Amino acid sequence: MSDKQAVYLDNRSYAVILLYTLPFVLMLLSLFVGRYHIPVSSVISELFLSSRAFLLGISLPMSTNHTVLFSIRLPRIIAALLVGSALSVAGASFQGVFQNPLVSPYILGVGAGAGFGACLGILLSDSYMFVQLLAFIFGLLAMFSAILMGKVSKGAGNLVFVLSGIIVGSIFTSLISLAKYIADPYDDLPEIVFWLMGSLSSVRYVDVLWLAIPLIIGITILLLLRWRINVLTLGDEEAKSLGVDIDKMRLVIIICATLVTSAAVSLSGIIGWVGLVVPHIARMLVGPNYVKLLPASIAIGASFLLLVDDLARTMTATEIPLGIITSLVGAPLFAYLIKRGRLGWN
């Protein structure tokens, strides 16, 4: 091995270490960011006192700074990390399963299905939990509808599932338009529009806790199966020759990726480009091997969405929806990747 190769490997190792520590660093720094100004010394003091109280099992008096840091900012930070991780790992998994670098987590109509569920929940109830529940259920319903449509079709292969997802997504998009048409223009309609653009402004610990369960389950299974995604990217014939039940494995990965996508969308609304662009950035950094690609996608996706959320809540006096910022950042970045010829598996 030459000196240049050794230096390159060392630099790459440092980059990988930095990549996996970045979400934790940003999580800490994000506590200092917000429209409500808290001095740096006060933030450090609250963190120290809260950590000490937790270790000793005692309670602290609830100050304004403590409430802002641990009841408003911290649950939102955790939610941004979870949602960014979920969308990125789902996007990477779908791209591998469908052998298509242009696939996103919403390929099977999950985003449109969850969006209609949220619209329905807003029209029927004032409960944020009810809205999340319907968004989660209809996201899964859209996925199962696309799979069923693909199974009963005469065609075969990944293309049938993609086309089925387009059909299901179009149907639910029309239902979203219908819900917006009949919604109260002064009450329900603004809430529907704002939810569809993506936001974490209303997230509480209880929302994070109950949606963390499907997120963690789905992500864990995908990580355990990530080496099999490598096999699926080789094509059906090669995968069969290696003894992989491609239909069963494809279905399991699709269900798990959809599970985390539906949970993420029900928590944050529809946030585009994260699940499409982040896997390609991870592929540039660690290569196409899914054993490394999925963990890298999780780290980059979590960091990216947390940075976007920090910008959304600090750039202007009123909060900017997350979907707007991810589109403004993701679209030019995707164009750059196309220009550099970085879309693909190599």
Query: What's this model's pTM, rounded to 2 decimal places?
Result: 0.91
Q: Say if 54 falls within a structural domain.
A: no
In a domain, residue 256? The reply is yes
Q: What's the domain range around 248?
A: 78-339
Residue 177: per-residue pLDDT: 95
Q: DSSP state, 242?
A: T
């598996």: which residue's tokens?
A: 345
- Alpha-carbon span 142 to 9, nearest angstrom: 44
84-88, 124-128, 158-162: least confident range? 158-162
108, pLDDT greater than 60: yes
Report the pLDDT value the prediction gives residue 62, as an integer from 0 to 100.
78
Rounded to an integer, the average pLDDT of 118-124 is 94
* CATH value at residue 181: 1.10.3470.10
Q: How would you write 288-337 as a 3-class SS string? A: CCHHHHHHHHHHHHHHHHHHHHHHHCCCCCCCCCHHHHHHHHHHHHHHHH
The reply to whether 156 falls in a domain is yes
**Which value, to the nearest 10 degrees, does the dihedral of the CA atoms of residues 273, 275, 281, 285 take?**
170
pLDDT at 160: 84
pLDDT in tens, 285-295: 888 899 999 99
The owner of tokens 């209809």 is 138
Check if the beta carbon of residue 300 is closer than 8 Å to that of residue 19: yes
Per-residue pLDDT at 6 exceeds 60: no
Residues 6+ apart with CB under 8 A from 233: 96, 99, 288, 290, 345
Q: Percent of the chain having pLDDT more than 70?
A: 93
Banded pLDDT at 15 (limits 50, 70, 90): confident
Q: What is the mean pLDDT of residues 271-279?
A: 93
Quote the number of domains for the chain: 1
Least confidently predicted of 58-67, 187-196, 237-246, 254-263: 237-246
- The most confident of 10-24, 155-169, 201-215, 259-273, by mean pLDDT: 259-273
CA dist 271 and 92 (Å) reads 16
Residue 45: inside a domain: no
* pLDDT exceeds cutoff 70 at 155: no
